[in-house]
Structure 1
Amino acid sequence: MSQTRFKDKVIFMCGVFFAYDKNLDIEKAKKSLDLMYHRGPDGYRSIQGSNYFLGHRRLSIIDTSDRGFQPFVSEDEKTEVAVNGEIYNYKEIRGELEECGAKFSSQSDSEVILHAYCHWGVDRMLEKIDGMYGVVIHDRESGKIVFFIDRYGVKPLFYQVDGACSKVIVSSEIASLKNYSSDLVVDETAIFDYLVYRYVPYPKSIYVNVFKASPGQVVEINLSTFDVNKRFYWEMSNEKASINVDENKSTIERLIRDSMELQVVSDVPLGFYLSGGVDSSCLLCSARELNLDPRAISLDFVGSEKSERDFVDEFCDKLDHNNLDIMTIEPQDTNHVLGEIVKKMGEPIGDDSVIPTYLLNKKAKDKVTVAIGGDGGDELFCGYSRYKILAPGVTAGKLLFLAKHYIKHFRSKFLCAFRYDERWERYTHLLGGMPASKVYRDYRNLFPNLESNYDPYWHYKRHYEKSDGVKDYMRLDFKTFLPGLIFCKVDFASMLNSVEVRVPFMDRTIVEYAFSRYDEKSKRDYGTKTLLVEYLYRKTGLDFTKRKKRGFGLPGPKYYQDGNSENVFHVRVLKDWLEYNV
């Protein structure tokens, strides 16, 4: 076993690449790791044997010294670990491990994974850790590779198992995997899925026989037989607890505060992305209650109705928070950006907010290395207006209410959803995807070999559980849309700029609380995030219920490369991606 390490100038996320191959091409493996330079510009370290390579590119967040370099290796050299992401409760776990006799060589949160696996095994370790992570463990003693991502799919891993060629590849990015396995073939069913969902749903990837690790699932591969064992280490509970409104109010404040205390730990500059919406505003408010004065970074679409600058200024004034940077975006800033970033996508991402998300991280990089984002709040606290449509028992009066309040701004999404009789076609339309009937009609040439009995809504059906009306769709969004599109987009756009974005709402206690709470008030207020809105009103006196939800997509035609926002964005991305990659 040999090791190499290089540390260049300190810039500061991480990329992991593992290859097991009886005909190991070490230069290809090194090149695959180098392709993830943007995920870890601080430096790299790799371990290699006669038939395997484990490499890690480093973006230093906690313990920026040389001792924090990965992969970490156990004292007996039988276990090697590489981690992408952060373990938020690592100090608590480290204390338990030290009581068990573990000896640490660094202050890194990632070293906790090595000792937890060696002392407790994978199952007990996974019960304990909380964070956002993609972990690869090479267990040399048992002759297996073990890997997994976090419970909610914030961080990605892609993998390929080719028993015929005695080869296993695991990578943080699909482009690095493709570099090593250059004969990959685009999957026609994945193209179809992408057009329906706007993303390629896990466990598929855009390529045949290349897979995404599923949220909350651990994968073990025997490196002699190439047998694959997969099991879920976390699944969302459907249990409901009856909690009164006053108890809800105090509980959510405490849970957000506890999550913030864990997630603001960093040895490098940290900031808050402030959109003017409920979720990011709650997080900054909580940080101020912790007596923190973080840099808040907001994006202003110049000359657009979607500009939230006035409200961001008002909110910060109410918090007495002066540490605010407004980063402006003008129409010319977005010209040609789509073509630039599509070339760098491992697989297509069909959300037009990928452009402002990319530009936000690009502009913020000079200020911060770690950013706090509000993603996940809509799925946890019923924030999407579409839940009003999906709620059971929609009456004529309710439809009239929707028409009065949404026809001007949402006519193309909400009211047009009723064109579709079939439930999953309507749901797909509400999420901005393309109902399968339209995909078959307009884009059949892109998947000529698709079987006639292919189920276009397999991903929804696999994860849908009927139990509690609108919360069924909240859970479905949480399991599909959130990891498949939102977290994928954020990871891509932030990592491309070497910025780590943390998501405090994805704290385990917050997630499990949000889906277990049950009270009549929350049941009525679909689409309003009542708990969070009331929290902000108590702290600032601002009434967020009077503000329209604006989202983070491009504001209008002049911000699009061709000046036409009516084109289906995710179709344009797919066509460009196929041109670059096929």
Structure 2
Amino acid sequence: MCGITGIYAFNEVGRFNMINLSGATDKISSRGPDSKGMFTEYNVGLGHRRLSIIDTSSDGNQPMHDDSGRFTIIFNGEIYNYRELRAGLERLGVTFQSNSDTEVLLKLFIREKKDCLGKLNGFFSFAIFDKEENSLFIARDRIGIKPLLYYHDEDKLIFGSEMKSILAYGIEKEIDYTSLYQYLQFNYIIAPATILKGVKKLLPGHFMMIKGKQVQIEKYYQVAYNRNALNPNNLSYEQQKQQLIDKLEKSVKKRLVADVPLGAFLSGGIDSSVITALASRHVEKLNTFSIGYKDEPFFDETKYANLVAKKFDTNHTVFSLSNQDLYEHLFDILDYIDEPFADSSAIPVYILSKHTREIATVALSGDGADEMFSGYNKHSASLRVAKGGTAAQLVKGALPLWNILPKSRNNAVGNKIRQLQRFAIGMRLSNKERYWRWAQFTSESEAFNVLNKSSKEQLDQDDFKQKKLEILKYINGNGDINDVLYTDMHLVLTNDMLTKVDLMSMANSLEIRVPFLDHELVDFAFSLPQSSKINENMRKRILQDSFRDILPPELYNRPKHGFEIPLLKWFRSELRSLIEHDLLRDQFIQEQNIFDGEEIKKLKKKLFSSNPGDIHARIWGLIVFQWWWKKNMA
């Protein structure tokens, strides 16, 4: 696991920017604290920060060159099948100077060029320079576990693992108001866009070839999904379960290869418990890590994590946190985020990664299972809408009541009313619009209204509508949950969940591996029919049933308590001054000239009222943006 950055200059003006290569490489030092390396060749510069995982000797340092000196690679990620690939290359007469997966990747590319991507099992972003052709090849893994951003103008192409390395080259910074409009709705920005015009994200499963002044981007992979040909091998449910067990255990085993201490996150939920159960078959006294919440016993699930740890005899560590512990890390997180990203669950992920890094360098996680196997409330709600019935119609008809009743995430009754209101609104929408609304924190009209006149004029509504259509193109009219899950893979998983885990783990120099997102397992998951994943009584049905015999029975038939960061409490106490006298201060909003001052006043009034509803998520999104803006744009 590492950080990469580089530049390909098209002319002398572009070459001048190569003086920033060292600084850009330093900006991503937390991704690779073990060593720094750079390479320059007239119009090309490559920078690398290394977090040593496989072959921790200096033989694995980068940039790495082939024997002839023609090819040079910088690589971020892990290739889990590198040993098999190496053996195949050795049979062809290829020799190796190290035991690293980086060298295997380099020499596989030399022989097969872009076709090497189809043979890789892992997660990665990498760049390979061909000195003879003066070309640069850049690729990103199939699912988008590792990030890759780039900036392209008439003089140069710059790339990097994080926005902060791109900014270190001194590029022009201009807000993309379409991205800001999206951000205000979702609290994250949807790829390939970023918050800045000119900076883009290379999409998952894509590669880029740069030669001369030509920049070509191509797709090499897409998750296999055909809604009209599910379960093509006519597997029985029992056979499906056995295949899931086999494929997931194979995936976990591959992700246990490391030359450094390794462990697993263990929340006490089904997903992380399954990963722990399988990993413990291959690692004696597996290190496992959980977070407990001292001040929020309703959300504390360490009891269940402890049951799993005891059953599989893991070396278990619980980091018991108070709300003050969470608050104390808030500003470190805000400082690290280099593009507005306001999923508040990033806070416990950051702290868990920070504490885990004191013991291990690699940790397995259960991310991805919810998006593939139907784990969210909105999946159950979508199923209820599709099936209809009297109860659903009654909830829909009572929307005027839900609209006037007090709503809040801070108590059970207020939260239930909030959920009923969202369900009733969703029932009145088409399948596509319902998906979009349930994915949002803020409606399009609310997000639009919070922008001032100048910002609205710079917003490209046609561009926004086209991007929205592209995201929703997989949602069909028959309401199949697989359509929802497939869209989640492209929207929620890549732009929210994987971004969160990558940012917060890399801020602490911790590598996170995600067994559920092995591409062979992902393709299998999307061959399964809806009935295998969800019914009226159970979400993630096949995942729960497949491992029921080995997991503690207490994990089943209990409510899922997703932890709610006490944002509202902070906003009304510790952060009140920051909101009222700094980031959302009336005079600052006016001088900044992005947001509508009157709308911001309304939001602040609602925040401090007795009926805040979902306002805390909108306020948090504004705080994150304002902090980023003051740091990068003011």
TM-score (norm 1): 0.91
The 8 Å contact of residues 17 and 54 in structure 1, kept in 2 or not, is answered as yes
Aligned positions of 1:129-528 closer than 5 A: 129-163=120-154, 165=155, 167-222=156-211, 224=212, 226-239=213-226, 240-241=230-231, 242-290=234-282, 292-304=284-296, 305-319=298-312, 321-391=313-383, 393-397=386-390, 399=392, 409-413=415-419, 415-419=421-425, 421-423=428-430, 426-444=434-452, 447-451=455-459, 453-454=461-462, 456=464, 458-463=466-471, 464-466=473-475, 469-518=480-529, 520-522=531-533, 524=535, 528=539
Contact 2:371 2:489 in 1 (8 A): yes
Alpha-carbon distance in structure 1 between the residues aligned to 2:38 and 2:631:
30
Q: Which residue of 1 aligns with 2:583?
A: none
Tell me by how many angstroms 1:408 deviates: 6.6
Whole-Å Cα distance in 2 between the matches of residues 539 and 402 of structure 1?
Answer: 39
Q: 1:105 to 1:195 in 2, by over 3 A?
A: same
State whether residues 425 and 435 of structure 1, in contact with CA within 8 Å, keep that contact through their aligned partners in structure 2: no
Q: Give the Å deviation of 1:266.
A: 0.6
Tell me the amino acid that sits aligned with residue 539 of structure 2: T
The counterpart of 1:54, out of the listed 46, 59, 63, is 46
Q: Distance in 1 between matches of 2:423 and 2:359?
A: 42
Q: Aligned partners of 1:447 and 1:172: how far apart in 2?
A: 29
1:493-515 CA-to-partner distances (Å, cap 9, x unmatched) read 00000000110111111101100
Name the SS of the counterpart of 1:126 in structure 2. helix
| SS of the residue 2:553 aligns to | coil
Q: Specify the SS of the correspondent of 2:276.
A: helix
Q: Is the 8 A contact 2:149 2:159 kept in 1?
A: yes
Superposition CA RMSD, Å: 2.4
Shift of 1:169: 0.6
Aligned CA distance change for structure 1 residues 556 and 549 (closer, same or farther; 3 Å): farther
Residue 530 of structure 1 is matched in structure 2 by 541
The answer to whether the 8 Å contact 1:79/1:139 transfers is yes
Query: Does 2:27 correspond to 1:39?
Result: no
**What corresponds to 1:7 in structure 2?**
none
Which residue of 14, 17, 25 corresponds with 2:5?
A: 17
Aligned equivalents of 2:56 and 2:395: distance in 1? Answer: 52
Measured against aligned partners, the alpha-carbon deviations of 1:4-32 in whole angstroms (never above 9, x if no partner) come to xxxxxxxxx31111112333344411011
Q: Is the 8 Å Cα contact of residues 45 and 70 (structure 1) preserved in structure 2?
A: yes
Moved more, 52-61 or 228-237: 228-237
Which has the higher mean CA deviation after the structures are superposed, 548-557 or 211-220?
548-557
User: Does structure 2 conserve the Cα–Cα contact (< 8 Å) formed by 1:528 and 1:545?
Assistant: no
**Structure with bigger gyration radius:** 2
One-letter amino acid of the counterpart of residue 197, structure 1: F
Describe the superposition over 1:68-112 as per-residue Cα deviations: whole angstroms up to 9, x where unpaired. Answer: 001221222221111101111111111111112221111111211
TM-fit CA distance, 1:419: 2.9
Distance of 2:47 and 2:263 partners within structure 1: 29
Q: Residue deviations 1:390-442, cap 9 Å, x none?
A: 23623134638999xx9775542453243354445543442343221111123
**CA deviation map 1:150-193 (0-9, x unaligned):** 11111001111212x2x111111111111103322221111111
1:474-508 per-residue CA deviation (whole Å, 9 max, x = no partner) reads 00000111010111111110000000011011111
Give the whole-Å Cα distance in 2 for the aligned partners of 1:67 and 1:293. 30
Q: Which amino acid aligns with 2:222?
A: E
> What amino acid is the match of 1:318?
K
> What SS is found at the alignment partner of 1:38?
helix
SS at match of 2:548: helix
Stretches of structure 1 lacking an aligned partner (at least 5 in a row)? 1-12
2: CA distance, partners of 1:153 / 1:350 = 19
1:552–1:136 distance in 2 versus 1, CA, 3 Å: farther
Whole-Å separation in 1 of the counterparts to 2:556 and 2:421: 22
Conserved 8 A contact 1:157-1:171: yes
Deviates more, 1:193-202 or 1:506-515: 193-202
Match among 22, 43, 58 for residue 66 of structure 1: 58
Query: How far, CA to CA, are the matches of 1:553 and 1:495 in structure 2?
Result: 23
What is the aligned-residue identity percentage? 28
